[in-house]
Each structure stands twice: as C-alpha cells, then as structure tokens.
Amino acid sequence: MIVNQFYDKGLAHASYAIIRNGRMVVIDPARDPQPYYDFAEIHSADILGVIETHPHADFVSSHLEIHQTTGAVIYVSKLAGGTFPHETFDDGDVIQLDDIKLKAINTPGHSPDSICILLEDEKGKDCAIFTGDTLFAGDVGRPDLRETAGNITAKKEELARDMYHSTREKLMVLPKDVTVYPAHGPGSLCGKSMSPDLHTTIGKELRENYALQLMDELKFVQTLLADQPFMPKYFGYDVELNKTGAPGFAESINNVVKADSNIELEKGLLVIDTRPSQLYRKGHVKNSINLQDGEKFETWLGSVVGPGEAFYLIANTDEELDVMIKKAAKIGYERNIKAALLTPDSATVKSAIINLGDFKAHTDNYTIIDARNWAEINVGKLFADALTIPLPELRERLSEIPADKPIVVHCAAGYRSAAAAGIISGKIKAVPVYDLSEAVKEFN
C-alpha cells in the first residue's frame, strides 16, 4: 500500500493518493491534475476514484477533470449538492480498493457536508484517516465559512457545535496510533493555529491540540470562534465552483489572452503588477496594484480582487507570466484575466520614496496606515496613531483615509504595504503615498 502526500505550499494545501495493487484513489486534488496522472503512471496504477471531503473554499479542485479524463468515480457527501456526476459517500459507505477499505465518516463542523475517510489496511486494522478540513495538526477547521455559500448554509455557532460533537464522537475515539492526514498545513486560512506538522496522529492531537482538550460545548464554541483569520473575497466563489466542477486546467489557462505589452488598457479595469516591489517602484502603470509573486500570491489576489472583477496581469518575463496565470487558476481566477502582458512602455509612474529620517523625527506629520491583519494589530500597534485598515478591507475603506498629510503605509515585512500603497495612491492624489516597505523592521 502506498500513501503519498502532494503539498502546495502557496495555499498550504495537502492532497493524497492511495495506491493498492495498481488501483489508485485521489483525495482532495488540486486544480492541476497532472501530478496525479504522473504519480499513477510511475506506479503503473489506474485512477479509479476521487474523493472530495467537502466543497473547498480556498482552492479549486480538479475532481471533475480527473473524472472526465480517466473515468474515475467522484465520491462526495450527499449533503454537498454536487451537480457533477458522482456517487454519494457518507456514514457506512465503503470503497473497496483491492484488499483495503476506505470508509466514510460524516464530520460536520468546518462545513455541514464535511467527511473524513478512514483507511483500513489489508489486516482489517484502522491505520490512517484523511480529515479534510475537520482536524488539522494542532487545530480544527474554522466554522464560519459556510454562512452564505454552499448547498447547505449554517451559522458559525451551529457549525462550531457540530465540530464539538464530530471531534468527540467520531475522531477522538479512534485508536491513538491512527495517522492523521489533513487537507491543510500552517498558513492556511481554513484554521487559526496549525502546527508545522503536515501529518500527525490521533494520540498526538489528543495531547497537544487545544481544540481536543477537556471542555464543555459552550467553552469549545467560544474558543473556536475567537480570533479566526480574515476571509478572502474568493472563498464563497470557490465553494460554488467546486460544487459544479471547474473547467479543465490546461485548456482554461491556455484560453487566457496574452496581449502585446503596449495594448491600450481599458480604463477602470484593475491592473495587477506581479513584479518585485523594487522594479514596481522604479516604474509602473498608473493606478496599478503591486501584488508581488510570492508564496501567498493566490491568497492575496483573492483577498484584494473580487471574484466578479476583471483585471490585467503584468509580469516581467514570459516564464513568470505563465507562472502567475497558473497561480491565478488555482483559485479559479484565470477567467478574470482580461489580458496577461509583459511590462508595458507606459509603466513610467514612479513611486514616492520616503525620507526615512524625516519620518522617524516627525511621525506626527504623516497619516500612517497599518495594513496588517487584525490578529497582528490586536497584539499591538507599531505606531500609536496609525489607522488600522487590513489589506483585504482597504479598497472598501479608502474614504476613511484623510488626504491632509502625506500617507505612510506599513505591514509586518513589506509585501502587503506594497500592495496597499498602490491601492491608496490610485485613489488619493493630493498628497504623496509612501510604502514603508522593509524599513518597518526598524520600528519593531
């Protein structure tokens, strides 16, 4: 028996392949199905099934494409409302993979339709469980993502109560040596305090996971709902897209228009410039937003740009442009790209450069914007009088920023402030807008 984890660090997403005697099942596949095809070929295996633990909010799954390409059966809970061809997979249902079994367990909490998959080996022993977004290393799934999206919507308090019972009655009673394979690792926005471990055991989680400690239901609900991270704009969109199934990955990214770098850009459309901030500051398209290529590009793209918004995508080379298109596709945003292009000749707008000495000596002469997340802000502000507007909220809250003094934007390390400065300077023209960038570290 082979269990293989595929890990996408950008979205902190883990998917899995299970192979037994040439038969393979994939769990929670990423948007690009090719790694699963390659893995099956290496092991001379046929992909017979794809299991979705729930309709995911943070990435687009390739379950439908794998079914269309290989004929693999898609398995998902009857509660998910999937409109793609599928077989339901709920409590009591079993997939026989030669002489091993995959057994469905309904575990509502993160979503009403969440399932976990318990793996029984050839000796009849429960040896591993694939927990989707129900149980992570060090955490459990957040319960507040399905209040407005999905086949079944539920209040976060109701789902938190469901999570209490799913963990206590379904998971914590499993043998302590059962290996836990979650769908996410640290950095995912589907939980709030995941450990660095990409897999764990029931026993370790019973000892170390805050959510599995002794507490009553009310205390659990209060603890789980507290301090959850922000919700990107694209989450509800991806839930709905995963309910129907996304178009084929390669075909969809190949349909993105690659335009001449000097085309006339349509007025009013967003321009996302993915180049490093030092290049952006030297010259960029007017009113463009600097969302640099990086480990969390997908998350920030889907946090700043709404799922219904078209945008131009700029990169420095053809190779980098291809990478960025693929990253956009991981959250279903390739269809939002009006055109993808290399840096145009019109990228001549230079960013205002802060006089750091003057800022340090006279911070009162500046309006300071703290673009960090609320969890960071609540720990403590770097500048007492800063306006706190996290980057995901900034475009909707620009009217709150006064334009009577020069504006300085900061975050924790410079990535978010680069994007925020572009957003603000696109709206406010009366005063310079400065990105404190990495110099923020001098104030920590």
Give the DSSP per-residue string, 330-391: HTT-GGGEEEEEEPPTT--BPPB---HHHHHH-GGGSEEEE-S-HHHHHH--SSTT-EE--H
Average pLDDT for 184-188: 95
Query: Which amino acid is present at 326?
Result: K
pLDDT at 254: 98
Give me the pLDDT at residue 201, please: 98
Contacts of residue 143, Cβ cutoff 8 Å, sequence gap at least 6: 109, 110, 156, 157, 159, 160, 162, 163, 224, 225
The residue type found at 248 is G
Give CA–CA dist 336/374, Å, rounded.
28
pLDDT for the residue numbered 444: 79
In this structure, the chain runs to a length of 444
CA distance 144 to 224: 10
Q: Determine what percent of the chain is predicted with pLDDT higher than 90.
A: 99
Give the pLDDT of residue 193: 87
Q: What is the pTM of this model?
A: 0.96
Over residues 91-111, mean pLDDT: 97
Among candidate residues 253, 226, 371, 384, the one with its CA nearest the CA of residue 321: 253
Looking at the predicted structure, is the pLDDT value of residue 295 above 90?
Answer: no
Q: How far is C-alpha 294 from the chain's CA centre? A: 13
CA dihedral 128, 132, 135, 141 (to 10 degrees): 180
Q: What would the two tokens of residue 335 be?
A: 């269809």
Average pLDDT, integer, range 103-125: 98
Region of residue 245 (phi > 0: left; psi between -120 and 50: alpha; otherwise: beta) = left
Q: Would you call 78 helix, strand, or coil by DSSP?
A: helix
Q: Which residue has the tokens 């997908």?
A: 298
CA–CA distance, 215 with 248 (Å, rounded to integer):
46
Place of tokens 């080996």: 121
197 has pLDDT over 90: yes
Read off the pLDDT of residues 364-409 as tens digits, 9 standing for 90 and up: 999 999 999 999 999 999 999 999 999 999 999 999 999 999 999 9
Mean pLDDT of the chain: 97
d(Cα 289, Cα 420) in Å, to the nearest integer?
8
Cα separation, 192 vs 279, whole angstroms: 34
pLDDT of residue 184: 98
Q: pLDDT for 221-257, tens place per residue?
A: 999 999 999 999 999 999 999 999 999 999 999 999 9
The dihedral built from the CA positions of residue 82, 83, 84 and 85, taken in this order, carries a sign that is positive
Instruction: Identify the band that residue 429 occupies on the pLDDT scale cut at 50, 70 and 90.
Output: very high
The whole-number pLDDT of residue 207 equals 98
Q: Are 162 and 110 in contact (CB under 8 A)?
A: no
| Residue 278 CB partners (closer than 8 Å, separation 6+) | none
Q: Is the pLDDT of residue 298 over 90?
A: yes
Rounded CA separation 130/111 (Å): 16
Quick one: which of 430, 429, 394 has its CA closest to 411? 394
| Contact by Cβ (8 Å): 79, 211 | no
